[in-house]
């Protein structure tokens, strides 16, 4: 349901069978949100390469209209500005947007011991007509598990 949207005319949820991952990018022209088409079908390496190309094209001011249409979910990195969290607004045609805060070294209790760890804050804004609080929270919990153990996620993804 995270990768869905609300159809106002039909008054129904539209579940999408593809993921077009929007990446909010600050450019000389202002904020734009191009997306990586069919990102759910890409390997981690392919996704990283597509992200690098997308950001490069955006910074060069060469992002075309087709690159900014059809997004299904967006990620915005508010942490690049030193901000820990934010409440981003959902883009039209999407049901959620994820804000990633600054990554900071913090004291963290791990297995009963305080250790320095890299920590970030994630915030999910979502359309309650499509996603309720439980589903939004479960999505964040799954994402946190991937960030805590990326090696396991990579093995599962390949």
Query: Could you tell me the pLDDT band of residue 95, with boundaries at 50, 70 and 90?
Result: very high
pLDDT tens-digit map of 13-54: 999 999 999 999 888 888 899 999 999 899 889 999 999 999
Residue 125: partners with Cβ closer than 8 Å, 6 or more residues away: 87, 88, 89, 90, 96, 97, 99
Q: What is the mean predicted confidence (pLDDT) over 83-99? A: 95
How many CA within 13 A on the CB side of residue 54?
Answer: 23
Query: Could you tell me the pLDDT band of residue 96, with boundaries at 50, 70 and 90?
Result: very high
Does pLDDT of 155 surpass 80? no
Higher pLDDT, 126 or 30: 126
Of all residues in the chain, the percent with pLDDT exceeding 70 is 99
DSSP SS3 for 30: strand
29, 62, 110, 128: the active-site residue: 128
User: How far is Cα 76 from Cα 122, in angstroms, rounded to an integer?
Assistant: 10
Q: What is the mean predicted confidence (pLDDT) over 57-80? A: 93
Q: Using N-to-C axis directions, what is the helix angle for 133-148 and 150-157, rounded to 10°?
A: 100
Q: Strand order in 35-36's β-sheet?
A: 35-36, 21-23, 73-77, 96-100, 122-126
Reply yes or no on whether 128 is catalytic.
yes
Average pLDDT along the chain: 92
Identify the architecture of domain 4-157 in CATH.
Answer: 2-Layer Sandwich (3.30)
Secondary structure in 3-state letters for 93-124:
CCCEEEEECCCEEEEEEECCEEEEEEECCEEE
User: How far is Cα 144 from Cα 125, in angstroms, rounded to an integer?
Assistant: 16
Task: Spell out the domain ranges in the chain.
Answer: 4-157
Torsion of the alpha carbons at 132, 70, 140 and 114, rounded to the nearest 10: -160
Query: Could you tell me the pLDDT band of residue 157, with boundaries at 50, 70 and 90?
Result: low
Q: What are phi and psi of 93, to 5 degrees?
A: 85, 0
Does pLDDT of 154 surpass 80? no
Global pTM reads 0.88
> In this predicted structure, what is the pLDDT of residue 158?
59
Higher pLDDT, 135 or 152: 135
């Amino acid at each position: 349901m995270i990768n869905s949207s609300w159809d106002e005319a039909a008054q129904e949820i539209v579940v999408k069978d593809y993921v077009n991952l929007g990446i909010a990018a600050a450019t000389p022209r202002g904020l734009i949100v191009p997306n990586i088409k069919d990102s759910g079908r890409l390997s981690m390496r392919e996704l990283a390469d597509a992200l690098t190309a997308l950001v490069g094209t955006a910074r060069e001011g060469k992002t075309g209209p087709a690159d900014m249409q059809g997004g299904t979910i967006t990620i915005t990195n508010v942490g690049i500005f030193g901000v820990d969290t934010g409440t981003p607004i959902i883009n039209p045609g999407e049901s959620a947007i994820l804000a990633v805060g600054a990554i900071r070294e913090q004291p963290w209790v791990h297995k009963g011991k305080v250790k320095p760890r890299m920590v970030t804050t994630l915030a999910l804004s979502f359309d309650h007509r499509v996603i309720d609080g439980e589903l939004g929270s479960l999505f964040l919990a799954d994402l946190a598990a991937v960030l805590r153990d990326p090696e396991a996620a990579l093995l599962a993804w390949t």
